């Protein structure tokens, strides 16, 4: 009997000792708990946290940590569509301010002369008309024959080979089609028709004299 009393007393002391370790100073309310005001960190609590002296915490006061949201687990790669744009090739010719006179009369050009391969080219039909010559153009072969009286000159579009009254030579620039208009070297046409040439660099003009 005495032994049981001693064991019971020791058990009570042990419980009180455990409670004192897990608890901290402060009065409890009717629910057996209270809000922590002092030395909260010492007891593993936060300031103002409601708790019970048996170590429990109020479910209403427990703070749930919300994980930080990330924009996405995988970064979205922007797909850039490369559109290949074709560059328009620059023209291999330039407009020319050349003025042409035949026996003192200015040739009226509806299409402006051009400079191609460092040579002045003039519209074929307009130039031939100004010189009173006939033109025969074979579109399939690109062959051009211009004749006046007993003189003739034969040219081919894209070729520098020219035939003057049966004699073949190589010239500096070939006839060329630009925007549907056939252009030929002015001096080639004049020479082929037996005309003399005089170039006035000051006025940038070409004077052609027919026999």
What pLDDT digit, counting tens, does each position of 119-145 carry?
999 999 999 999 999 999 999 999 999
**CA dist 147 → 60, 139, 181, 192 (Å):** 112, 17, 19, 8
SS3 call for 187: helix
pLDDT of residue 91: 74
Cα–Cα distance measured from residue 191 to residue 115, given in angstroms and rounded to the nearest whole number: 19
- pTM over 0.85? The answer is no
Which candidate, 200, 196, 199, 198, places its Cα nearest to that of 210? Answer: 196
Structure token digits, residue 147: 């004749």
The Cα 185–Cα 174 span in angstroms is: 7
The pLDDT of residue 46 = 72
Quote the DSSP letter at residue 57: B
| Domains of the chain by residue range | 2-52, 93-209
Considering the four listed CATH numbers 2.40.160.20, 3.40.190.150, 2.40.50.140, 3.30.457.10, the one that applies to the domain covering 93-209 is: 3.30.457.10
The stretches in the chain having pLDDT less than 70 are 1-32, 34-35, 37, 39-45, 48, 50-90
At 211 the pLDDT is 86
**Residue 98's closest CA among 125, 127, 133?**
127
């Amino acid at each position: 009997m005495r032994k049981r009393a001693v064991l019971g007393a020791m058990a009570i002391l042990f419980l009180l000792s455990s409670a004192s370790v897990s608890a901290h100073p402060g009065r409890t309310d009717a629910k057996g708990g209270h809000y922590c005001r002092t030395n909260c960190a010492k007891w593993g609590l936060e300031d103002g946290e409601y708790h019970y002296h048996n170590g429990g915490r109020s479910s209403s006061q427990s703070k749930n940590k919300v994980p930080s949201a990330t924009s996405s687990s995988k970064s979205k790669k922007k797909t850039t569509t490369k559109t290949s744009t074709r560059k328009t090739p620059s023209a291999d010719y330039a407009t020319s301010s050349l003025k042409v006179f035949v026996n003192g009369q200015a040739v009226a050009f509806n299409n402006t002369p051009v400079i191609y391969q460092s040579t002045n080219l003039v519209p074929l039909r307009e130039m031939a008309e100004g010189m009173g010559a006939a033109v025969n153009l074979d579109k399939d072969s690109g062959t051009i024959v211009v004749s006046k009286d007993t003189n003739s000159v034969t040219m081919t579009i894209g070729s520098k080979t020219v035939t003057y009254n049966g004699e073949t030579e190589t010239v500096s620039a070939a006839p060329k089609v630009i925007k549907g208009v056939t252009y030929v070297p002015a001096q080639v046409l004049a020479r082929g028709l037996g005309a003399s040439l005089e170039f006035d660099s000051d006025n940038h003009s070409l004077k052609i004299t027919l026999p």
